[in-house]
Amino acid sequence: MNLRLTGLLGLGLLIMSPLMSPAELRPGRHLAHFAKARLQLPGLLEECRALTARKIPYVYGGTSDEGMDCSASVQRLFRNRGISLPRTSEGQANTLARRGQLWRVAAGESELDVFKRLKPGELLFWVKNESPNRVSHVMVFVGMDGKKAKLWGARGTGKTGLSGSGVDFFHYSPGSRKRSRIVAHGAPRPSTTTESHYNITVVSS
């Protein structure tokens, strides 16, 4: 079964069909329900620390301790907690939408406001400004550290985190990325359904 995730990404809008209607996706509409639905994953932070301790370098396309990229580190993290996710960040976003576990970021909403409503363990998804129709990056939200967000995962070639590893904890200043932006966040929960990849179809305004 293919999921059709339609988004007006140029306006920062994602419309998920058939899971939710456009009216249901208005800003703030599902916040109360979302707070109840979010998964509290026991041991997730400990798993992040354990993977960080392996000193895994960043390698684009890598899936082993010899090197991983952002989506591979997220896939490994949640697999170790019993949750199956696809290999790519785009596939992960679509799978969460398929499961009813993805929420879009409203047009004009600041990243700081997005971070304020997140709970530890949620996934954040970015698109590049030059490729707004494709999810290109994913990281795990750990919590706020002062005015900075603390994230976990892998950020790119040559970038190391707080302990000096490619797969690591990172500080992130909301709004600091000029060439990319957050378009959605998701709360993975255990599922009995096995998915591999779902395509994102983008309709421009």
pLDDT tens, residue by residue, 7-57: 333 333 333 332 333 233 333 333 333 344 444 567 899 999 999 999 999
Which CATH number is 147's domain given? 3.90.1720.10
User: What pLDDT, on a 0 to 100 scale, did the predictor assign at position 94?
Assistant: 95
Do residues 115 and 144 touch, judged by C-beta distance below 8 A?
Answer: yes
Q: What is the pLDDT of residues 51-82, one digit of tens each?
A: 999 999 999 999 999 999 999 999 999 999 99
Confidence of residue 107 (pLDDT cuts 50, 70, 90): confident
Q: Report which secondary-structure segment, H or E, holds 200.
A: strand 200-202
Total domains in the chain come to 1
Query: Tokens 């970021």, residue?
Result: 105
Residue 122, pLDDT above cutoff 70: yes
User: What pLDDT, on a 0 to 100 scale, did the predictor assign at position 138?
Assistant: 98
- Taking CA atoms, 45 is separated from 48, 124, 151, 201, in Å, by 5, 16, 11, 33
Q: Find all residues with CB under 8 Å of 11, minimum gap 6, and list them.
A: 107, 205
Phi and psi at 124, nearest 5°, equal -115, 135
Report the share of the chain in percent with pLDDT over 70. Answer: 73
Task: Give first-to-last CA distance, the chain, whole Å.
Answer: 27
User: What pLDDT, on a 0 to 100 scale, did the predictor assign at position 40?
Assistant: 53
Residue 194, pLDDT above cutoff 70: no
Phi and psi at 47, nearest 5°, equal -65, -40
Residues β-bridged to residue 85 = none
User: What pLDDT, on a 0 to 100 scale, did the predictor assign at position 123?
Assistant: 97
Residue 158, pLDDT above cutoff 90: no
Give me 71's structure tokens.
């989506």
User: What pLDDT, on a 0 to 100 scale, did the predictor assign at position 191?
Assistant: 58
Q: What is the pLDDT of residues 168-183, one digit of tens each?
A: 999 999 988 889 999 9
Exposure b/e, 144-164, CB count within 10 A at least 16 = b: eeeeebbbbbbbeeeebbeee
Decide which of 155 and 38 is more confident: 155
Give residue 39's domain range. 4-202
